[in-house]
């Protein structure tokens, strides 16, 4: 069964590959998008993509996805630590959701160690870079496939 996935990238992720490369790596957002979409397509799934530095845009996109998607892969960026609105939007949509961070937020500055969505998402992957994003995607697809009665790969 083809699943519809929403990939959400928040604050400053448009600068991926250019900003703090020692922490976030040199892969650009466009390169990451190609990797994610290719990986999902290999398993017959479709991906919608939203990237914004504006919290309200992300909240709107998540809300508009209600009833249209089967799962969410989200890296809220800096909104991880501040956005009750994104948390509430995820709760409203109520689909399997994986939170992913390129860096290990638990080993960074104190203010970055708290995620306002960690307790409401299906799972969290942090600190594994681009491979972690792809593992998160695989896990989300496995969860959705299993729920639909399909094989886990």
Q: pLDDT-derived band of residue 150, with 50, 70 and 90 as boundaries?
A: low
Residue 112 lies in a domain: yes
Q: What is the pLDDT of residues 80-102, one digit of tens each?
A: 999 999 999 999 999 999 999 99
pLDDT, residue 151, reads: 52
Section 35-42 average pLDDT: 98
State the chain's mean pLDDT as an integer: 94
Q: Is residue 1 scored above 50 in pLDDT?
A: yes
Residue predicted with more confidence, 54 or 151: 54
Residue 50 lies in a domain: yes
Section 102-108 average pLDDT: 88
Residue 29 lies in a domain: yes
Kindly report the pTM of this predicted structure: 0.93
Section 108-114 average pLDDT: 81
> What's the order of all strands across the beta sheet hosting 4-11?
46-51, 4-11, 71-77, 97-101, 123-126
Residue 153 lies in a domain: no
Residue 36: CB partners within 8 Å, gap ≥ 6?
7, 47, 73, 133, 134, 137
Three-state DSSP at 125 gives strand
Which residues make beta-bridge pairs with 73? 7, 98
Residue 152 lies in a domain: no
Three-state DSSP at 124 gives strand
16: left (phi over 0), alpha (psi -120 to 50) or beta: beta
| CATH for 57 | 3.40.50.9100
Structure tokens at 62: 């998540």
Q: What is the pLDDT of residues 55-88, one digit of tens each?
A: 999 999 999 999 999 999 999 999 999 999 999 9
Q: Is residue 153 scored above 50 in pLDDT?
A: no
Please report which helix (H) or strand (E) contains residue 22, including its range.
helix 21-24
Quote the number of domains for the chain.
1
126: left (phi over 0), alpha (psi -120 to 50) or beta: beta
Q: Are 98 and 136 in contact (CB under 8 A)?
A: yes
Full residue range of the structural domain in which residue 142 is found: 4-147
Residue predicted with more confidence, 89 or 106: 89
Q: What percent of the chain has pLDDT over 90?
A: 84
Three-state DSSP at 77 gives strand
pLDDT, residue 152, reads: 47
Question: Annotated active-site positions, please?
Answer: 24, 101
């Amino acid at each position: 069964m083809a699943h519809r996935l929403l990939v959400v990238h928040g604050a400053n992720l448009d600068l991926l590959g250019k900003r703090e490369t020692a922490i976030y790596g040199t892969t650009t957002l466009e390169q990451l998008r190609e990797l994610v979409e290719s990986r999902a397509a290999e398993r017959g799934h479709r991906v919608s993509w939203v990237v914004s530095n504006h919290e309200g845009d992300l909240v709107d996109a998540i809300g508009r996805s209600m009833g249209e998607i089967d799962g969410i892969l989200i890296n809220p960026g800096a909104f991880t630590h501040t956005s009750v609105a994104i948390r509430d939007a995820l709760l409203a949509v109520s689909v399997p959701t994986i939170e992913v961070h390129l860096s290990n937020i638990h080993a960074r500055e104190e203010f970055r160690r708290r995620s306002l969505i960690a307790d409401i998402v299906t799972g969290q992957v942090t600190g594994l870079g681009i491979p972690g994003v792809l593992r998160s995607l695989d896990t989300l697809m496995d969860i959705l496939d299993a729920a639909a009665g399909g094989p886990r790969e």
